[in-house]
Structure 1
Amino acid sequence: MPLVTAGVVVLDCAEPEKLAEFYKQLLDAEETVVSANRVELRAAGGTRIALRRDTNATPPSWPRPENSLQVHLDFLVEDLDAAERRVVSLGGRPLEAKDAPGPYEERGFADPAGHSFTLRRTPPPAPKRG
């Protein structure tokens, strides 16, 4: 058994219950732990995320240079346009509208509390050879 195992990504925010609703619907997740200051979620694919109350939390200013990127989440999707519509309908907002260069297409967003995340298109499977 390993000494340390991966835990859960924790985002600080002023209202964890509200932010949990955004991620519950985006990830089709269920609440696994709820306390006065923390809500934990687990998505069907095993992704775990927690929202912790910090009454002094301020949203990151990324991509503006005066505040560094505090955390960045990547979510894999098959249909970027459909996923973007879902994010916006849940209260998220686009940070970047252009496609990133390279083999993976991605788009940047902020959740309702201002944390940045990326929707990244899953790469198509390689064609069979032979």
Structure 2
Amino acid sequence: MALVNAGVVVLDCAEPERLAEFYKELLDGRETDVTANRVEIEGAGGTRLAFRRDVNATPPSWPRPENSLQAHLDFLVDDLDEVERLIVGLGGRPLETRGADGPYEERGYADPAGHSFTLRQTPSTAPKQG
């Protein structure tokens, strides 16, 4: 069994509801998760995208270097500590390990080249034992 499963591409933006609506319509999709600062959709073909509120977001300037980073990857995991050890062993490094508000615990990392990504642990759906 894999330790890491592909998650969702997250686009940071000032108005996640508005951007989610655009992509929901474009991809004939539906909302799958909505919180105060994040909207996740799934397109008819299974494409999953999320839009996270960043009040300081600026439009991408690609290919110019200023403001060119506008997305990061989320990976869904069962065991944050185990996967963190794997990441560090492979040459990645922790960026942010504080807990997040809401139903998910997440931690930020950089890959060996410096690209950021997030591990998100979803709550267990198994019945509580004991």
1:39-58 correspondence to structure 2 within 5 Å: 39-58=39-58
Distance 1:19 1:41, change over 3 A: same
Distance 1:26 1:55, change over 3 A: same
| Distance apart, 1:66 and its partner CA | 4.2
Gaps of 5+ in 1: 72-130
Whether the 8 Å CA contact 2:59–2:67 is kept in 1: the answer is no
Q: TM-score, normalised by structure 2?
A: 0.50
Q: Which residue of 1 aligns with 2:15?
A: 15
Q: Which residue of 2 aligns with 1:3?
A: 3
SS of the aligned residue for 2:4 comes to coil
Gaps of 5+ in 2: 72-130
Q: Which residue of 2 aligns with 1:98?
A: none
Aligned counterparts of 1:44 and 1:70: Cα–Cα separation in 2: 24
Whether the 8 Å CA contact 1:31–1:40 is kept in 2: the answer is yes
Runs of at least 4 residues off by over 4 Å: none
Matched residue type, 1:8: V
Q: TM-score, normalised by structure 1?
A: 0.50
Q: Which residue of 2 aligns with 1:62?
A: 62
SS of the aligned residue for 2:39 comes to strand
Aligned counterparts of 1:49 and 1:21: Cα–Cα separation in 2: 11
What percentage of residue pairs aligned between the two structures are identical?
79
Aligned counterparts of 1:53 and 1:65: Cα–Cα separation in 2: 22
Aligned counterparts of 2:35 and 2:29: Cα–Cα separation in 1: 17
Q: Which residue of 1 aligns with 2:90?
A: none
CA RMSD in angstroms comes to: 1.8
| Distance apart, 1:59 and its partner CA | 1.2
Whether the 8 Å CA contact 2:58–2:67 is kept in 1: the answer is no
The alignment of Structure 1 onto Structure 2 pairs a total of residues equal to: 72
Q: Which residue of 2 aligns with 1:111?
A: none
Q: Which residue of 2 aligns with 1:35?
A: 35
Aligned counterparts of 2:53 and 2:2: Cα–Cα separation in 1: 30
Whether the 8 Å CA contact 2:29–2:42 is kept in 1: the answer is yes
